[in-house]
Structure 1
């Protein structure tokens, strides 16, 4: 249904305002490349649908398709000129999303294009074909202007170009959570302090730890060795206190498509070319560090200098999540100018050794992709934006299998992953901060994590900017997962319409039944090696998190099973400098002492463990290469009598491999 409702005077004001905004926007980095295209005119019109999906991401596309398959009318609103998000705007392969964890419409899509070496334009063609076959009404250049609510129900959303969509249910499928924010739904931006959700990987990290660090000390000052000259661009003097929270988010970049051969476009010089932005790159080459070039058709940040400094515009995206369209356009162009400039600098600057300039110049941009944007992808990789805060927040506990929700609507399987958030000057050298890469086994995502608090909105679902901590979102944020959650969201929205209930009150049993019928995978069938809960163990346990540590121990959860969230190891370094003391209060009596560890061939076969008991001390040698004999996770150290305290000390003195500390349990001897 369409009808005009704006008076002519308001229409004229809107047109004049949009033209004025267009004149204040920054110039594109290269011809045709924009994030935001202000409306050239305002055409007041109204559409009604059962389900309105705002956000043309891969999750939004799949949600709209599923809505139609559920027999509902659906409208898909895309902010830009394309649909598919990063899947059609940079990727040529997907991380995660194998057939054992990803089914449904996502599997249909990948069965058509494959999950590696696909062309972005081919991916978009498949999406458009699927949308057309489903009968989805698609609108492009739909820029959200206003949300109208009655109580906790969204009644309509308005676009800058005059389009108003009324619907029974709404789905926010944007990377940034733009609709949920306008609808008054709670959200978070940035990194929580570790103590907010009792996590270990969420907050500010120690600069220089994690992966993708500088291979050599690189001076951070404009004039090397002179702090008074100031810091180079985007480098900060104070990175904050490790473990605390901040507003920083992991860096963005463009996943550019690089090609070789004569049929390529040379890297252009961007509209704004600031060579100081590339001073760090020049100093890296001059340091003699190995560039470790790994360019391919789909090049990422770690494909030069192992990600120490390349295409991620670290620190340049802090204002993106909550920025208005003009602010984001400026940030978008800053990213584009920087990254296009990186490629131009590497192929033209005399400070880059000639042999490397020649290697870089062998690559270029495609002539058969992104023709409207000079061969450069239109899609900025928004790795993280707003994150909804609902009654259930996905956290590290979920990623590591310690907390398992009963209302699964799909699986995530990628690492807990964060690119750098900051570059910090430490003792006269640049240190990257924020990188995290911790493996996980496939785990379920709760339906409650895509539903807002019922007091805030009752007809909105959020499958992309879902309720999660920074580090959990770093694992969930994969395109296949957004597609999975988009399908599940549309299924739930349809059932809410049929049952005339709020989205928070959808019957989960019915939802799960329909998801399974439609090919979704909501429970992992593989061998996951589920972590062992300390609280459920017989006896009195002390986790490695509660042990008194000396020396440097590194956290891991690579090899399962383990107790709690993971274990620590000594990196097979600093022998004789690392100890872990497990202490707990006990009732006087005899206890069997058990040591937990995950066995592997790289472990120490001569680990010294000292038990301090009533009779004195006893040293036991443990072979951590052998599989533990008690429940496949514990080895018995023997029975000992204790008074009011039990104490076990693990040391890496003289050990011949990685030393693992996980947990110690004191089991009463009856």
Structure 2
């Protein structure tokens, strides 16, 4: 491995933690910027999963990349306790995220054997220990070779020239020295949107009123998560409140690997947790109305004080432990007030405050005398693991910042883009789609105020199902600031953000951002001016899904072409029907779309007929579209050779139109 691309910052830890895992490299002490060089093609600010994938995508395409992170470790929530992948339809987010899960799976198979319990618990790589996730991320970064990692670097300001970001200034937290990084493109992959805020980009904080975008679930809301119905007191008014932040704990029930708290943790106050007794007595610590596998529903804890947490089993006798937002005693709402605009010093205070609340809750149910002896005994089975977060008292590094700033971009994704509108059969189609999303709307409470019927805290929208939707490139691009792309704190409403904010999807969006940044440099243009067809073709070739269908085999010959044309309006539902005959009506509609895209080509559709389109008629009609690309032959787009009087199939038409128009669609103007 090439060590020079990994920079360790003394007290802030190496890139690999955990005594159970050998380090992939031994990073050198952090040199001054003048020693390492400070000019890159791309600087990615924020070592979140999205930032990591942006860096890897750009590096694999040939860019030099600097990846910076405030903490001493990379990986954001995925290496800080979020040990299960929040994804319902695994086929919707693939590419680098899929590679990540495959590498996790291979790790467990290689270490423990294919038929071992740990391999079963990793669920094909979608569930993992924090240290394993960190190991895999670092391995992928090292293999990219052109990525320089600077952990423990605190962003101070952005430097602009003519409204374009040209540099970012950091403080090396170990040496207190300033570090300036220059680049041709910047990626803001922070959870908070810190870089674009310092660059002067417009953004939102808080919740829009229901009236702003005509969103059903916007604004102040009391929502029955069991019945998916509104409760009394829902006004739809906008405000500056944010979903509660917490820490995501990793716990173990292995006594040999347990860090046992012998005394109350710093900042402990039992009064924070007393409302949980009412939750237990009144049934709010029971199981869910509908049990959904993979949502942290651990049956053994229902109707006990352990239900203040949500447990999901991961390998090696460990658990991904969320803090259950459904009880009224949930103490975290409103505790993040002021976090987003706080100084680094004040953010550190809020980190410590949330840490005290989280670890204090565990101590409370393990030790408080008012908790029943049975429940205390049950709680004492679980402890922080000795082999995780070894340089941080076995506690995660990253605060779970569920939402902070949201960019005001070239487009704002709203709840209406996540729903099927009246008279349609799929969510809105975006010609500049770069990935599909699918996770239910899931917003943690924003307020400590309970509904009048004591069912729920204000602001909680729990696992509200939505269809699969497209995410346009424009939500990643600031309105005015250039040289910058934003895959995490992107341009959405509060409601839409609560589905976008999942790490698997963010990894895919990060991949799109890194690819777009590389292409902007390659074509010497702004990212907003990249021909979207070029970006989409690159993403499709990287196995990114940009259009979702529920009836396509990914091995289908026309799969990539259908992905592309699915962003242009070829398909009005989630059925592609690629092996069915193409109707004349659909063919004419498709040709009109193509003609609009290629602009300088006119196509006579009179020979299309009235019902289905024959192969002979199809070839004659599309002939004017064919370029001088000699690689495009008739068998290249046909599923099988057959008589020309037979109807052309929808998949064949997609592929032919895709191949015939490549030269025109991929031009940089």
Matched, 1:199 2:220: no
Aligned equivalent of 2:419, options 396, 400, 408: 400
Query: Residue deviations 1:293-336, cap 9 Å, x none?
Result: 3534112223xxx7314666111112222222122111111111
3-state DSSP of counterpart to 2:489: coil
Q: Secondary structure at the match of 1:93?
A: coil
Task: After superposing the two structures, state which structure 1 stretch, 323-332 or 310-319, moved more.
Answer: 310-319
User: What is residue 55 of structure 2 aligned with on the other side?
Assistant: 64
* Residue of structure 2 equivalent to 1:47: 38
Which secondary structure state, in structure 1, belongs to the residue aligned with residue 271 of structure 2? helix
Q: Determine which of 262, 266, 279 is the counterpart of 2:260.
A: 266
Q: Counterparts in 2 of 1:611-626, with a 5 A limit?
A: none
Secondary structure of the residue aligned to 1:299 is strand
More displaced stretch, 287-296 vs 143-152: 287-296
Work out whether residues 259 and 385 of structure 2, in 8 Å CA contact, stay in contact via their aligned partners in 1: yes
Provide the rounded CA distance (Å) in 1 between the counterparts of 2:252 and 2:440: 29
Counterpart residue number, 2:203: 187
User: Given the superposition, is the C-alpha separation of residues 349 and 190 from structure 1 closer, same or farther in structure 2, using an over 3 Å criterion?
Assistant: same
Q: Residue 397 of structure 1: SS of its match in structure 2?
A: helix
What are the superposed Cα offsets for residues 32-52 of structure 1, whole Å, 9 maximum, x if unpaired? xxxxxxxx9995645000010
Q: Judging by fraction of residues, say which structure has more helix.
A: 2
Deviation of 1:83 after TM superposition, in Å, equals 0.8
Q: For the pair shown, which has the larger CA radius of gyration, 1 or 2?
A: 1
- Gap regions ≥5 residues in structure 2: 1-11, 13-28, 105-123, 173-177, 287-301, 313-318, 422-427, 553-573, 576-669
Q: What is the correspondence of 1:237-316 to structure 2 with a 5 Å cutoff?
A: 242-263=235-256, 264-267=258-261, 269-285=264-280, 290=285, 292=302, 293=307, 295-296=311-312, 297-302=319-324, 307-309=326-328, 313-316=332-335
Taking the TM superposition and a 5 Å limit, the aligned residue runs for 1:141-540 are 141-161=152-172, 162-206=178-222, 209-210=224-225, 242-263=235-256, 264-267=258-261, 269-285=264-280, 290=285, 292=302, 293=307, 295-296=311-312, 297-302=319-324, 307-309=326-328, 313-402=332-421, 403-424=428-449, 432-436=457-461, 437-453=463-479, 456-526=480-550
Report deviation, 1:430: 8.7
Distance 1:312 1:117 in 2: 27
Question: Is 1:250–1:421's contact at 8 Å kept on the other side of the alignment?
Answer: yes
> Which residue in the other structure is 2:117 paired with?
none
Distance 1:473 1:289, change over 3 A: closer
Name the structure 1 match of 2:640: none
For residues 496 and 175 of structure 1, what CA distance do their matches in structure 2 show?
24
Q: Which moved more, 1:85-94 or 1:47-56?
A: 85-94
Q: 1:422 to 1:211 in 2, by over 3 A?
A: farther
* 1:401–1:443 contact (8 Å) kept in structure 2: no
From 64, 76, 94, the counterpart of 1:103: 94
Secondary structure at 1:123's aligned position in 2?
helix
* Partner Cα separation in structure 2 for residue 69 and residue 116 of structure 1: 24
- 1:89-125 Cα offsets, whole Å, 9 max, x none, are 1122101174411121111111111443311111111
Gaps of 5+ in 1: 1-21, 23-39, 214-238, 529-559, 562-670
1-structure distance, mates of 2:497, 2:143: 32
Shift of 1:510: 0.6
Distance in 2 (alpha carbons) for counterparts of 1:451 and 1:127 = 26
- C-alpha displacement of 1:287: 5.3
SS in structure 1 of the partner of residue 126 of structure 2 = coil
1:515 to partner: Cα distance: 0.7
Alpha-carbon distance between aligned partners in 1 of 2:493 and 2:551, rounded to the nearest angstrom: 26
Q: Figure out how many residues of one structure are paired with residues of the other and give that number.
A: 461
> What is the CA RMSD across the aligned residues, in angstroms?
2.7
- TM-score, structure 2 length as denominator? 0.65
- Which digits, 9 at most, give the CA deviation of each residue in 1:340-387, with x for residues without a partner? 111111111111111111111111111111111222111211111111
> 1:335–1:290: structure 2 CA closer, same or farther, 3 Å change rule?
closer
